[in-house]
């Protein structure tokens, strides 16, 4: 059975991992006959937002502890991820990718990325193991993969431009479609960058996970 690593960035669309995308990733991995294990960095979130009002809250939360909510407690520190134990990797989206795993939400084309995350992703790439990036996560592709690696965040021109300035080659893509860089073994899909419903998000994620498993 193929085993897939999932890297989460917290819990909640506005300050962590997008919950629907994370759960759909787990569901489609299992439905397609594979298994998964979740990881997250043991760091503080950039900030905490009230998901009811959108207001910032005066508190601190830990990315690993928050991601454990999605993983039902079955999660490990990202520093313990052993690439040799997995066939492929998935990064669901959510603002946690752009706020906790990187500074893309604030600095765009001048953003930096968490070094531990970069090392993990590049280790998969060096072993020619495929990686799927969902939603806003493809904005990290330029930090990780060679210049010109194909990526999509859907059709938002400003975000696409920043993604290209970081080194990726952006491809406009519909919510139900995926973009695959066969040479680099990189898969991306817009998910909630475009999705208006969980069903729409699911369609592209299912295709991305199928392509990931076919490629691994």
Angle made by CA atoms 21, 27, 28, in degrees to the nearest 5: 90
Residue 37's pLDDT is 98
- What does the pLDDT read at residue 174? 96
The mean pLDDT of 132-146, rounded to a whole number, is: 98
Catalytically active residues, by annotation: 135
Rounded to the nearest integer, the mean pLDDT of the chain is 97
d(CA 18, CA 30): 19
Across 24-43, b (16+ Cβ under 10 Å) vs e yields bbbebbeeeebebebbbbeb
What's the rounded mean pLDDT across residues 96-115?
97
- Tell me the pTM: 0.97
CATH class of the domain comprising 3-215: alpha beta
What pLDDT, on a 0 to 100 scale, did the predictor assign at position 45?
97
* Average pLDDT value for residue range 42-67: 95
Domain map (residue ranges) of the chain: 3-215
CA distance 84 to 96: 26
């Amino acid at each position: 059975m193929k085993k897939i690593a999932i890297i989460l960035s917290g819990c909640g669309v506005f300050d962590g991992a997008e919950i629907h995308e994370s759960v759909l990733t787990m569901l489609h991995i299992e439905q397609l006959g594979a298994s998964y294990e979740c990881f997250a960095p043991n760091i503080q979130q950039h900030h905490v937002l009230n998901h009811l009002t959108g207001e910032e809250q005066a508190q601190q939360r830990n990315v690993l502890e928050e991601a454990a909510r999605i993983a039902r407690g079955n999660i490990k520190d990202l520093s313990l991820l052993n690439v040799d134990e997995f066939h492929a990797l998935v990064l669901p989206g959510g603002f946690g990718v752009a706020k906790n795993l990187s500074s893309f939400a604030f600095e765009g084309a001048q953003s930096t990325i968490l070094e531990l995350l970069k090392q993990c992703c590049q280790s998969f790439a060096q072993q020619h193991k495929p990686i799927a990036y969902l939603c806003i996560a493809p904005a990290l592709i330029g930090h990780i993969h060679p210049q010109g690696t194909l990526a999509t965040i859907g059709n938002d021109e400003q975000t696409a431009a920043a993604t290209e300035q970081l080194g990726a080659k952006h491809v406009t893509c519909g919510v139900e479609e995926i973009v695959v860089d066969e040479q680099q073994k990189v898969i991306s899909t817009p998910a909630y960058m475009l999705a208006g419903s969980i069903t729409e998000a699911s369609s592209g994620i299912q295709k991305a996970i199928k392509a990931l498993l076919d490629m691994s």
